Amino acid sequence: MRMRVCSHPTPSDRQFLLRRLCVVACAAAVLIVFGPALCRSDDGPSADGSSSKSDSAAKSGSKLAAKSGNELFEEFHVAKWPRLSHGYRTCMGDMIRLKDGRFLLSYTRDVFPYGQYNGAAIVGRYSSDEGKSWGEEFVMIPAPVPHGKHIYCHPSFLRLKNGDVLFAYIYTSAGAPWYVHNYFHRSTDDTKTWGDKFILTPSTGMTAVHNDKLIQTSSGRIIAPAFFNLVPHPGGHSGEVSCVYYSDDNGFTWKKSKNYVNALPIEAQEPAVVELKDKRLMMLCRTYNKCVLRSYSSDGGVTWGPGKLVRELKLSPNSSALNVKRIPSTGDLLLLRSSGGVSGKRTPFVSAISRDDGVTWEKDRVIAGDPDEDYGYPSLRFLGDTALISYHRRDGIYVARIGVDWFYKQE
């Protein structure tokens, strides 16, 4: 008969047991700290149409993103058009994530030859695979009638906190004598149908809100960043200043900011606005002074401080449209722009990161950098730790899917 003999543990046995206990304790600590974040899924579309998470998930997501190694970079040629000397700047639009998970992309379909605008309509395409492929075009806003040299362009989406979706766009003469207005429609059924057309920027002359510029702040206020001609001009962009239109009742009524960002003779054009962590609003404007202009509001956009140039944020000598949003998974700001170019072109198309809410910027990375190309008017949405960006080139409209980690790598 075999008997089991019990003996006192040796020193080596005690060291082995201590090591096993340390491993178990470390594993338990990891589960306690990171378990909820690892098990939590995206909350679905947020107020601006992107995928959002709770504050605690966003904080833990920032730590996990660095470990995930999501440096995805994919580019898709969605609208294939004839190659021009410059990009399709007037045609760019916006994207929104729908409640069923699809993305809707909108833009202006031009009638060639480019620039004649005779019958140009705002069209849409759906993607059911998170932006990897896009369906056939369909008309969202028919061309203005009677057809002539006036167009609808630069559409924007905004999903409100109550679930409604606003769809805004520019109506412009696209030539002298200049007039520009913004209109919008409302959808209460996730873009299946749209309500009547309402004026967003009641004004005379030229007042414009460009694509993917509408935001809704944490207070529920809607901000529509706009620019207009303080000094009339026969063409070009001299004499332009920026302001905002805002609404506290989900877009049923609008007010114009009490003052405007006036840095003349430096232009303040095509502004983009983002809410900072301290609840102030930061406005970034394009200029023809080879850098971005910045202003702040401490009262939700009612009044604005002076515009000051940000020399570190270089722009093309031919200027460049901007887009700035907060990355949900890290809490940092992401800025898109074109930083150079010759012969009237805007290239390269670059990104920059701010970890201190726009005080300083770093990590300039080239998204697209062909020196003979022309890039611009980007829209920006987030799906988890992936950014979806639409922009134009000389041969049409593109959509890029870029992992958040990619923006943080050194060039």
User: Is residue 372 one of the residues assigned to a domain?
Assistant: yes
Residue 336: which domain range? 71-90+325-411
User: Is residue 347 one of the residues assigned to a domain?
Assistant: yes
User: Is residue 319 one of the residues assigned to a domain?
Assistant: no
Contact yes or no for 242/226 (Cβ under 8 A): yes
- The residue behind tokens 């910045």 is 294
Q: How far is it, in rounded angstroms, from Cα 166 to Cα 186?
A: 5
Contact yes or no for 193/187 (Cβ under 8 A): yes
- Structural domain tally of the chain? 1
User: Is residue 304 one of the residues assigned to a domain?
Assistant: no
User: Is residue 392 one of the residues assigned to a domain?
Assistant: yes
Contact yes or no for 271/225 (Cβ under 8 A): yes
Joined together, the tokens standing for residue 373 give 């190309």
Joined together, the tokens standing for residue 397 give 């409209």
User: Is residue 154 one of the residues assigned to a domain?
Assistant: no
b vs e for 355-393, b when ≥16 Cβ sit within 10 Å of the residue's Cβ?
A: eebbeebebbbebbeeeebbbbbbbbbbbbbbbbbbbbb
Q: How far is it, in rounded angstroms, from Cα 229 to Cα 177?
A: 13
134: left (phi over 0), alpha (psi -120 to 50) or beta: beta
User: Is residue 282 one of the residues assigned to a domain?
Assistant: no
Output the tens digit of pLDDT for each of the chain's 411 residues: 333 333 344 444 444 444 544 443 444 443 343 443 333 333 333 433 343 333 333 332 233 233 345 789 999 999 999 999 999 999 999 999 999 999 999 999 876 666 666 678 999 999 999 999 999 999 999 988 877 778 899 999 999 999 999 999 999 886 677 788 999 999 999 999 999 999 999 887 789 999 999 999 999 999 999 999 888 765 567 889 999 999 999 999 999 999 999 999 999 999 999 999 999 999 999 999 999 999 999 999 999 999 999 999 999 988 889 999 999 999 999 999 999 999 899 999 999 999 999 999 999 999 999 999 999 999 999 999 999 999 999 999 999 999 999 999 987
Contact yes or no for 61/36 (Cβ under 8 A): no
User: Is residue 369 one of the residues assigned to a domain?
Assistant: yes
pTM of the model: 0.82
pLDDT of 194:
97
Distant-in-sequence, close-in-space partners of 406: CB < 8 Å, separation ≥ 6 = 70, 71, 72, 73, 365
pLDDT of 55:
34
pLDDT of 146:
75
Q: How far is it, in rounded angstroms, from Cα 127 to Cα 15?
A: 58
